[in-house]
Amino acid sequence: MTRVEGYGRIDRTRTVSFTFDGVPYTGHPGDTVASALLAHGVTTLGTSVRLGRPRGVVGSWTEDPGGLVQVEEPFPEPMLLATTLEVTDGLVARGVAGRGRLAQVADTARYDHRHVHCDVLVVGAGPAGLVAARAAARAGQDVVLVDDRPTPGGTLTGTETVDGRPATEFVDAVVAELAAAPHVTHLQATTAFGHYDDGFVLALERHGETTGRSARQRVHRIRAGRVVVAAGAIERPIVLEDNDRPGVMLASAARDLLHRHGVLVGREVVVFTVDDAAYAAALDLHGAGAAVRVVDGRAQAPAGWAARCAAAGVPVEAGTDVRGTLGTDRVRAVLVGETRREVPCDLLLVSGGWNPTAHLFSHVGGPLAFDDELVGFRPAAALPGTTVVGAANGTFALADVLREAGGADAPSAEPEVITPRRTLWRTPGDPARQFVDIARDATVADVARAVGAGMTSVEHVKRYTTIGTAHDQGKTSGVVASGITAELLGRPVGALGTTTFRPPYTPVPFAALAGRDRGDLYDPVRTTPVHHHHVAAGAVFEDVGMWKRARYYPHPGEDMATAVLRECAAVRRSVGVMDGSTLGKIDVRGPDAAVLLDHLYTNLMSTLKVGRVRYGVMCGDDGMVLDDGTVLRLAEDRFLVTTTTGNAAHVLDRMEDWLQTEWPHLRVRLTSVTEQWSILAVAGPRSRDVVGRVFADVDVSNDAFGFMTWQDTALDGVPVRLARISFSGELAFEVSVASWYAADLWVRLLEAGAEHGITPYGTETMHVLRAEKGYPIIGQDTDGTVTPQDLGMSWVVSRKKPDFVGKRSFARPLNSDPGRKHLVSLLPTDAATTLPEGSQVVAFTDRDPEQHADRGVLPPPPVPMLGHVTSSYRSAELGRPFALALVRGGRDRLGEVVGVPVGDQLVAARIGGTVLVDPEGARRDG
């Protein structure tokens, strides 16, 4: 055990048990897997990804490049840092060889998102963040303070004094003040991981597995008026031979482990530094009982620290360096100076200086520049709305930090003299054994090789060597790599720059970002008011946009084909009813309503009489069909427009776009009434009987209620609109009612039609029936490259209107190409094959030219394509399969036989007109 009495902020009265690499261990609440294992003397946690060398803990928090573990229980999670993973009872973890393993089952934990708005967001609850938050709170501002560690205080260890008191007391006092202040939210274990424009910061709050909180993790989407980055700094190593060996750590990490967890990582310690801060680590470890020796790479040790070391009996050797380490799985000695003098030790602490944690400043484009005094990259310009304070800004002396962050009421601390740092990226040695990024097994030799290959950019070196691309994203290796590259190129590191910081600051589970947007909440589910009746009737649903539409209603034992044939037959021979409520509906109102519609539809709407209905087509500016539907003229200044289900929002958006930005002088208002009105379509020769029975006060005779007209009526005082609209060619009525009453109306229609065997039918039957009549489905029989003329619908294109959207495009050269694809029908000559939708259409090559057959020969590729099958069904009415297809010059080839490859066969099919059932249109009036 390396645990030291009197140190650490862990709860030693309680013990937790966990397993690592199959061995049971104990720790205390407040321990991490790293601290607990180190307390047990375990220094090797895994092996490296490329070379298989032992890897241990180097840092003490998210900067650690070495101590990666795989959690197996309570739920597998890959590639977590032992330094950030809290020990909990029952935790099972193991070391990894550079790669993690995902669970094989779904994660059932809950992840939440939360929106937060505040005046000031402070990132980091170290000394800088605490005083910044306190100052903002005292100024009455809404403050959010987040800090990624479980407890506040940052790097304060308790050995410092603030306002003359131990720093820990100061921390407790500020935390208490913030807790008591109104409008302050203080979250620990919450990592601000991404910073976007206008003060938008993403933060991940971790609740752990066993806390009983409803969500395991929560992403806070914080919108802050001002962002204060007080995220501290990360110590960086000095590269030396065999520096990847367990037992080589950052000086700050050893100090942190001692003060947070009471773990003394080594008994015989060499501290190699070019920076003052490591002296504090040396003295603290010495004070906790270790034998410590300092090697200062600078010409002279700083006088103040040297004196304190002398007083404590810590030897200090300046003007030399550490060249390498010896040992097997753990350091047993280091090699000092040019003579490579062997100095026994079980721990080498290194400190090459500090990299300000300016990631959140950099995410929003804040420039970083190399500061020669700091020997590091720090924020180089002001950024509106973002302030960087403390070590994140390159300010290190505690008194300066407090002043910078706290402003007028900043507390005071002892002044410090900081001796200039030395720029030292690496010491002399064998570059092939000097590790720059131990997470990627990348050495100085690799950097040299990249430079030798001609690379002059740090981005290239990073990509060539993979330095900085591991879980830690180069928190300790990135700047070192820049420094070494600059040395090799003979250029200043500042001119070379460093690679860009990108979100996230630390890894974030996919599931946390997905939040609750999974399963049914991935996308809203829209259902009609009649939905429960469809469910009760055993309907099979299809997704159309966000809507669930009943596709067919199988009876027991029926497959789709059988059910659809039955439903089709019912409509053609008697009566069926379909829920058409998902159709888009737009109320167009105002004195200029007709003018707007004339602009937007290819045909004339202004001539439509009140009480009548007209089918209309909309095109894009490019002349391609965009949507279709019926238009009811409700009054001189009012229309009800229907759209296809999937396109409703898009059509409304487009109408608004034209109205607001192009023709704002038009006096029109557009209102979506899709969800206000439900539409039930009653179709079939007996539909008049059914509708007439339910609405006894309406004369539903053909004379009184003609095709493409509408009438209002009421049912038990509830307004109802009836319209003679048919999408099947049969006599049909669309019954519209306020959605509250749709389910009831559905039941009444079924009751009234019972004697005729009224049959609920779904979208599949609707598709078959309309296809038999040659009515296209926009989006199925069109694909954004089809004009109304291609569909054989020139009749819907006005020749009277001077202009409408899309008209000019019809005159483009390509539109008069005789090779354009036309919508036609295809009848397989064997009268048996249902051509798969999506099949291609090619020339038919007979096996035997003498004898026409239903099957031909498919030549080897490439085979020129003539078009494709857009819709294909078996027809109850025709007693055979049929298809609609877009075929080159199709209308000029009626009667010709073409080939449709189906599997290995070439199926013969004859081109025909699109109207296959009731071409005279005799049935629509019943």
Partner 1 sequence: MQLITCPWCGPREETEFRYGGQADLAYPADPSALDDEQWARFLFFRDNPKGAFAERWCHDAGCRRWLRAVRDTRTYVFAETRPYGRSTV
Partner 2 sequence: MSTPEHPDFLWRTPEPKKSYDVVIVGGGGHGLATAHYLAQNHGITNVAVLERGWLAGGNMARNTTLIRSNYLWDESAAIYEHSLKLWEGLEDDLGYPILFSQRGVLNLAHTEQDVRDSVRRVEANRLNGIDAEWLGPDEVAKVCPIVNVSDDIRYPVQGATYQPRAGIAKHDYVAWGFARRADEAGIDIIQDCEVTDFVVDGDRVTGVRTSRGDIACGTVALCAAGHTSVLLDRLGVRTPLQSHPLQALVSELLEPVHPTIVMSNAVHVYVSQAHKGELVMGAGVDGYNGYGQRGAFNVIERQMAAAVELFPVFARAHLLRSWAGIVDVTPDASPIVGHTPYENVLVNAGWGTGGFKATPGIGWAFADTVAHGRPHPLVAPFALDRFVTGALVDEHGAAGVAH
Question: Considering only residues 767-796, where is the footprint of partner 2 by CB under 8 A?
Answer: 779-780, 783-785
Residue 522 binds to partner 2 (criterion: CB under 8 A): yes
Looking at beta carbons only, is 452 or 664 nearer to partner 1?
A: 664
**Residue from 196, 211, 610, 653 binding partner 2 (CB under 8 A):** 196
d(CA 915, CA 273): 88
3-class SS string, 37-86: HHHCCCCCCEECCCCCCEECCCCCCCCCCCCEEEEEECCCEEEEECCCCE
Instruction: Please identify, using beta-carbon distances, which residue of 371 and 622 lies nearer to partner 1.
Output: 622
Contacted entry of partner 1, partner 2, none for residue 188, CB cut-off 5 to 8 Å set by kind: none
825 neighbors 884 (Cβ within 8 angstroms): yes
Among 92, 291, 318, 508, indicate the residue that binds partner 2 (CB under 8 A). Answer: 508
Q: Which of 15, 23, 41, 99 binds partner 2 (CB under 8 A)?
A: 99
509 forms part of the interface with partner 2 (CB under 8 A) = yes
**Nearest approach, Cβ of 694 to partner 2 (angstroms)?**
32
Interaction of residue 490 with partner 2, rule CB under 8 A:
no
Beta strands at 46-47 and 821-828: parallel, antiparallel or unpaired:
unpaired
Residue 432 as a binder of partner 2 (CB under 8 A): the answer is no
Q: Which two tokens stand for residue 788?
A: 């109304």
For the segment 848-877, give every residue that binds partner 2 (CB under 8 A): 860-863, 865, 868, 870
Complex with partner 2: residue 94 or 267, whichever CB lies closer: 94
Residue numbers at the binding site for partner 1 (CB under 8 A) = 196-198, 200, 223, 365, 621-622, 653, 656-657, 660-662, 664, 802-803, 807-809, 811-813
* Strand boundaries in 732-864, DSSP class E: 732-738, 759-760, 821-828, 840-843, 855-856
Among 75, 560, 660, 757, binds partner 2 (CB under 8 A): 75
**Can you tell me the distance from the alpha carbon of 416 to that of 406, in angstroms, rounded to the nearest whole number?**
18
- 538 makes contact with partner 2 (CB under 8 A): no
Residue 589 CB, nearest distance to partner 1 (Å)?
16
Q: Pull the structure tokens for residue 204.
A: 């991940």
Q: How far is the CB of 518 from partner 2 (least distance, A)?
A: 6
As a whole number of angstroms, the distance between CA 890 and CA 826 comes to 10
Query: Angle 444-452/458-465 helices, nearest 10 degrees?
Result: 120
Q: Work out what residue 755 binds among partner 2, partner 1, none; the CB cut-off runs from 5 to 8 Å by kind.
A: none
Q: Is 12 in the site for partner 2 (CB under 8 A)?
A: no
Contact criterion met (CB below 8 Å) for 826 and 895: no
Q: How far is the CB of 116 from partner 1 (least distance, A)?
A: 13
- Would you put residue 394 in left (φ > 0), alpha (ψ -120 to 50) or beta? left
Name the residue nearer to partner 2 (CB basis): 113 or 433: 113
Residue 452 partner contact from partner 2, partner 1, none using kind-dependent CB cut-offs of 5 to 8 Å: partner 2
Q: Both tokens of residue 165? A: 């008191």
CA–CA separation, 14 and 28 (whole Å): 6
Give the contact letters, 151-190, x = binds to partner 2 (CB under 8 A), - = no: ----------------------------------------
Secondary structure letter of residue 148 according to DSSP: S
Shortest reach from residue 438's CB to partner 1, in Å: 35
Site for partner 2 (CB under 8 A): how many residues? 89
Binder of partner 2 out of 454, 557, 879, 895 (CB under 8 A): 454
Structure tokens at 222: 């914080």
DSSP-derived 3-state class of residue 27? strand
Please give the distance of CA 9 from its chain centroid, rounded to a whole number: 38
Give the three-class secondary structure for 695: coil
Give the one entry of partner 2, partner 1, none that residue 463 binds, where binding means its C-beta sits below a cut-off of 5 to 8 angstroms depending on kind: partner 2
Judged by beta carbon distances under 5 to 8 A according to partner kind, the member of partner 1, partner 2, none in contact with residue 198 is: partner 1
Shorter beta-carbon distance to partner 2: residue 305 or 552 = 552
| Crossing angle for the helix pair 303-312 and 277-287, to the nearest 10 degrees | 10
DSSP 658: I
Q: Which DSSP state fits 772? A: H
| Dihedral class, residue 144 (left if φ above 0, else alpha if ψ from -120 to 50, else beta) | beta
- Nearest approach, Cβ of residue 503 and partner 1 (Å): 11
Among candidate residues 863, 858, 885, 855, the one with its CA nearest the CA of residue 873: 885
d(CA 390, CA 132): 10
Q: Which does 59 bind (CB under 5 to 8 A by kind): partner 1, partner 2, none?
A: none
Among 5, 6, 24, 104, binds partner 2 (CB under 8 A): 104
| Piece in contact with partner 2 (CB under 8 A), picked from 34-42, 70-78, 560-568, 723-731 | 70-78
